[in-house]
Amino acid sequence: TRTINLKNRPTGKPELTDFDFSTSVIPELKEGELLLSTKYVSVDPYLRGRMSDAPSYIPPFELNKPIASGVVAEVLESKNSKFSKGDHVLGMMEWKETQVAKADGLIKVDPDKAPLSAYLGVLGMTGLTAYLGLTEIGKPKKGETLLVSGAAGAVGSVVGQIGKILGLRVVGIAGTDEKVEMIKSEFGFDEGINYNSTENMIEAIAKACPDGVDVYFDNVGGEISDAVLFNINKFSRTINCGAISVYNNTEQPKSISVQPFLVKKSASMQGFVVFDYADKHPQGIMQLAEWLGQGKLHHTETIREGFENIPQAFLDLFEGKNKGKMVVKI
Ligand code: NDP
């Protein structure tokens, strides 16, 4: 079976040459294990962190070993009484076309309840990130202004929609006019800013958020987030969810000092890692599934096809080539 391994630890922007393909023989199935055929693979910005060996909240990938991410797979053979042939499972799995896996850590997913790819997005890690980051850290109140960066992406598009469900005024920042149009027409954002065609982000945010920013859901960091600081309100809350604009930096970026802004406004900023809120995941999934079922939440995906295209799909996240969740169908 084909496997995708980490060949080099990238410096700066990752490239196709940082990955390589190998073939391996599928081992014999032992008691308790499953033989799985990969159906959908999630590519995520956080995998960039695992490609480097700097300390982080998850250990780095090993060189010349398979990369792993969220995968939905079909059970081809089972030696575990909890799963049967034909079931679909979700879990962290290696980038292999076919693999043998232990069943612990895998959960059964139902293709009749939601499309299989949704379990990697709105009903999976990115949906939970949006929901728990916004509600647990953002503590939004009806009528407040929510600003979301990375607004047309997997997490951001769900954050904005939840903001609308909770009665907030929602403004999004994204990289193209088409994306700005999409977040307004498809996801109900009140206003949008294309950061690539905007000279003065401080002014653009002030204009789009005339009452200031009460909750800032930050997916990108860097200069965009610096500009937000000039527009935060008293007692505002910032959710530091991600910083994709600096993931490929080779030097520490020159950033403005955030402390005076926070002091002046009695404002707060808090980091958020979805895995640290595992006890709230079941309730989160139930809430997201309910909103999805009621048609209050829409999910958009960019689906690439073919096992060999997984690395390119990952690289394209850094070029903004996805709308909503980027997944690869095998
Ligand atoms: P997205 O679907 O949002 O894809 C990434 C998007 O980032 C691109 O589409 C692109 O959109 C934007 N982007 C790329 N480069 C830049 C840049 N230099 N400046 C500004 N925007 C850029 O990915 P996810 O929704 O999966 O992840 C969003 C963020 O959330 C990431 O930072 C990720 O690391 C983080 N995350 C954090 C988790 C946690 O537990 N803390 C869990 C999951 C995700 P555009 O065209 O608008 O530039």
Residue 111 is assigned to a structural domain of this protein: yes
Residue bearing tokens 């980091």:
271
Q: Whose CA is nearest to atom 31 of ligand 1?
A: 242
81 phi, psi to nearest 5 deg: -65, -20
Residue 48 is assigned to a structural domain of this protein: yes
Residue 280 is assigned to a structural domain of this protein: no
Do residue 31 and residue 53 come from a single domain? yes
Token representation of residue 128: 């939970």
Look up the CATH number of the domain holding residue 32.
3.90.180.10
Do residue 136 and residue 234 come from a single domain? yes
**Ligand 1 centroid distance, CA of 53 (Å):** 21
Q: Whose CA is nearest to atom 22 of ligand 1?
A: 245
Closest atom of ligand 1 to CA, residue 246: 18
**Ligand 1 centroid distance, CA of 30 (Å):** 39
Q: What is the pLDDT of residue 255?
A: 79
**Ligand 1 centroid distance, CA of 211 (Å):** 26
Q: Whose CA is nearest to atom 1 of ligand 1?
A: 153
Q: Whose CA is nearest to atom 18 of ligand 1?
A: 245
Q: What is the pLDDT of residue 239?
A: 98
- Please count the other Cβ atoms lying within 10 Å of the Cβ belonging to residue 112: 4
Amino acid at 139: K
Q: Whose CA is nearest to atom 9 of ligand 1?
A: 320
The residue whose CB lies within 8 Å of the most ligand 1 atoms, and thus the one to mutate among 57, 155, 228, is: 155
Do residue 131 and residue 103 come from a single domain? no
Residue bearing tokens 């728990």:
132
Residue 290 is assigned to a structural domain of this protein: no
Token representation of residue 4: 């995708």
**Ligand 1 centroid distance, CA of 4 (Å):** 23
Residue 23 is assigned to a structural domain of this protein: yes
Residues of the chain with pLDDT under 50: none
Closest atom of ligand 1 to CA, residue 196: 48
Token representation of residue 80: 């575990």
Give the three-state DSSP class for 140.
Answer: coil
**Ligand 1 centroid distance, CA of 46 (Å):** 9
Asked if 313 and 43 touch (Cβ cutoff 8 Å), the reply is: yes
Do residue 132 and residue 271 come from a single domain? yes
Number of domains comprising the chain: 2
> Which residues pair with residue 68 across a beta bridge?
94
Look up the CATH number of the domain holding residue 138.
3.40.50.720
Do residue 108 and residue 57 come from a single domain? yes
Check residue 142 and report its DSSP letter: T
Residue 145 is assigned to a structural domain of this protein: yes
Count of all residues that appear for the chain in the document: 330
List pocket residues of ligand 1, CB cut-off 6 Å.
44-46, 125-126, 129, 150, 152-156, 174-176, 179, 219-220, 241-245, 272-274, 317-318, 320, 322, 326
Q: Report in angstroms the alpha-carbon separations of 314 from 22, 42, 49, 130.
A: 18, 9, 13, 20
Q: What is the pLDDT of residue 23?
A: 96
User: Which value does ipTM take for this structure?
Assistant: 0.99
Q: What is the pLDDT of residue 329?
A: 98
Q: Whose CA is nearest to atom 8 of ligand 1?
A: 320
Do residue 151 and residue 201 come from a single domain? yes
Question: Which positions ≥6 away from 210 have C-beta within 8 Å?
Answer: none
**Ligand 1 centroid distance, CA of 23 (Å):** 31
Give the three-state DSSP class for 119.
Answer: helix
Do residue 117 and residue 130 come from a single domain? no
Q: Report in angstroms the alpha-carbon separations of 35 from 8, 41, 119, 281.
A: 29, 17, 20, 27
The string over 264-279, giving b where at least 16 C-beta atoms fall within 10 Å of a residue's C-beta and e elsewhere, is eeebebeebebeebee
Do residue 104 and residue 130 come from a single domain? no
The residue whose CB lies within 8 Å of the most ligand 1 atoms, and thus the one to mutate among 220, 247, 319, is: 220
Q: What is the pLDDT of residue 56?
A: 83
Q: What is the pLDDT of residue 10?
A: 96
Closest CA to 244 of 3, 33, 23, 44: 44
Does this model's pTM top 0.95? yes
Residue 282 is assigned to a structural domain of this protein: no
Whole-angstrom distance, CA of residue 158 vs CA of residue 174: 14
Token representation of residue 41: 């693979």
Residue 29 is assigned to a structural domain of this protein: yes
Token representation of residue 327: 């997944």
**Ligand 1 centroid distance, CA of 85 (Å):** 36
Do residue 165 and residue 193 come from a single domain? yes
Exposed, middle or buried: residue 70 (CB in 10 Å: 0-12, 13-18, 19+)? buried
Do residue 49 and residue 161 come from a single domain? no
pLDDT by residue (tens digit) across 63-109? 999 999 999 999 999 999 999 999 999 999 999 999 999 999 899 99
Residue ranges making up the domain that contains 314: 2-121+300-329
Closest atom of ligand 1 to CA, residue 155: 25
Do residue 34 and residue 149 come from a single domain? no
Do residue 252 and residue 136 come from a single domain? yes
| Dihedral angle over CA of 289, 295, 296, 297, nearest 10 | 60
Distance, C-alpha 289 to centroid of its chain: 17
